[in-house]
Amino acid sequence: MTPIEQARADRQGALNRLVEFLRIPSVSTDPSHGADMRRAADWLAERLRGAGVDRVRVDETPGHPVVHAELLAAPGAATVLVYGHYDVQPPDPIALWESPPFEPSLRDGDLYARGACDDKGQLMAHVEALAAYTAAGIAPPVNVKYVFEGEEEIGSPNLAAWLSAHASELEADVAVISDNAMVAPGQPSLVYGLRGLAYMEIEVSGAPGDLHSGLYGGAVRNPASALAGILAGLHDAQGRITIPGFYDRVRPLDDAERALLARVPFDLTAFNRAAGRAGAWGEAGYSLIERLGARPSLDINGMGSGWTGPGAKTVLPAKASAKVSMRLVPDQDPEAIAALFKAHVEGLSEPGFSVEVRSLHGGRPALIDRDLPAMQAAGRALEQGFGKAPVFTREGGTIPVVADLASILGLPTVMLGFGLPDDNLHAPNEKFRVEHFHRGTETVIAFLDELAKSAR
Ligand code: BES
Ligand code: ZN
């Protein structure tokens, strides 16, 4: 049997193993899940051993462990570094799930569970691909190294240091990550760009304590109003971000790239379904796909002030706060943008208020050379796995490690995503199409074969 035939013969076994993995609630941001994080890392290490890797380690970090494994069975051939993350987002709001987030449920060909797509299901496609080689009694045609981290969803605070410390062990020719989506069902894509991120928190304080709005209202400036003014002013009428210097390092799109992105069969119906009555919005002069992948953005992620519980309470709050994140594109630098944001917002402070701005985390944007031989190999593999040639596209999400792999290890990354735009990442009812899990596994097998054949 070929590895692909082997993978097809054991689809049910592979699905069962994924379900087992999804039952572990590895929520990285929640300290009460510390033991589950360890359990997920150990489970993955054991699974890699089962898939035929003999050198597997679970490395401690100041945060959650990194699972590291390698199988160097192809002397002289290329080496590929596979990255994935075994941590997941919190399942909240739990009430909106149709089945419990950590009890995987199969409905209409979709597997519903937190982490089904982001990223346990996609990561397991790589592990199952290796398992298929092993079960078929065939050594993988390239050398493989695996790095599975447990802190991606909290901004990978400890990964760069771990990569630097283990740089010599991690030598490779190319990295591959499956942690993104295809453009639409039936249309695979090769993502060559991701946005970066700068995540900020603003706190505006006024009076020393909350005040009765009858006794003080109209006579004391409200910090929530001050904050609302600051936030509302962060975009102009053209949808552009007003922070001075914000666009200085944005790499402009050239005509060739605009033409390339215009050819992506963007699923407007799915987009509109998700956007609902809010509809499309954004920076004037750019298409939706450009706004999403190739232009920076700024969003309020949360706001808090005064009374937000049920019913009414007459209060003039002492404080108001907001979480604001900015998605960045090359060559914007998260730290530089965080500094511009801080200076701008603090400068908008009114007399009598203190405005404090903190940076919570960030990640650098990434752009990969489309002509890379490994990219072409991935294109041929996707065509085998999904029956259609992929389109090149850029996506708006952030995977901080992509920039680190380039700067620390000198590795370009191929982004081989098997998710769909409506997989409900980070939201209730996250899902992964079972067919994509299996086809993804076959695509990974094909990718390793194509890499072995392609020039380096
Ligand atoms: N898998 C996503 C990133 C993603 C989603 C890339 C869709 C491309 C398309 C990843 O797990 C994620 O959620 N990343 C965070 C990063 C942050 C916490 C630093 C993000 O984008 O918000
Ligand atoms: Zn995520």
Kindly report, residue by residue over 314-370, the tens digit of the pLDDT.
999 999 999 999 999 999 999 999 999 999 999 999 888 999 999 999 999 999 999
Protein residues placing their CB within 5 Å of the ion ligand 2:
118
Residue 381's closest CA among 109, 86, 80?
A: 80
Task: Return the exposure string of 334-368: e unless at least 16 CB atoms fall within 10 Å of the residue's CB, then b.
Answer: bebbbebbbebbeebeeeebebebebbbbbbbbbb
By alpha-carbon position, which residue is closest to atom 9 of ligand 1? 180
Question: Do 196-250+296-362 and 3-194+365-454 have the same topology in CATH?
Answer: no
pLDDT band at 454 (very low <50, low <70, confident <90, very high): confident
pLDDT band at 115 (very low <50, low <70, confident <90, very high): very high
pLDDT band at 456 (very low <50, low <70, confident <90, very high): low
User: Would you say the CB of residue 430 lies under 6 angstroms from ligand 1?
Assistant: no
Tokens in use for 202? 């603003």
3-class secondary structure, 232? helix
> What would the pLDDT profile of 225-242 be if each residue is shown by its tens digit?
999 999 999 999 999 999
Q: What is the DSSP letter of 389?
A: P
Domain ranges of the chain: 3-194+365-454, 196-250+296-362, 251-292
Question: Is 152 a catalytic site residue?
Answer: yes
The CATH superfamily holding the domain 3-194+365-454 is: Zn peptidases (3.40.630.10)
Q: What is the pLDDT of residue 455?
A: 62
User: Would you say the CB of residue 297 lies under 6 angstroms from ligand 1?
Assistant: no
> What would the pLDDT profile of 375-430 be if each residue is shown by its tens digit?
999 999 999 999 999 999 999 999 999 999 999 999 999 999 999 999 999 999 99
Evaluate whether 445 touches 129 at the Cβ level (below 8 Å).
yes
By alpha-carbon position, which residue is closest to atom 14 of ligand 1? 398
- Find the 87 Cα to ligand 2 centroid distance in Å: 9
- Find the 152 Cα to ligand 2 centroid distance in Å: 7
Please spell the DSSP secondary structure of 146-204, one letter per residue: EEEES-GGGT-TTHHHHHHHTTTTT--SEEEE--SB-SBTTB-EEEEEE-EEEEEEEEE
Tokens in use for 107? 């409905």
Q: What is the mean pLDDT of the chain?
A: 97
Average pLDDT over residues 15-35: 98
CATH 3.40.50.12280 fits 196-250+296-362, yes or no: no
Helix 11-22 vs helix 120-136: crossing angle, to nearest 10: 140
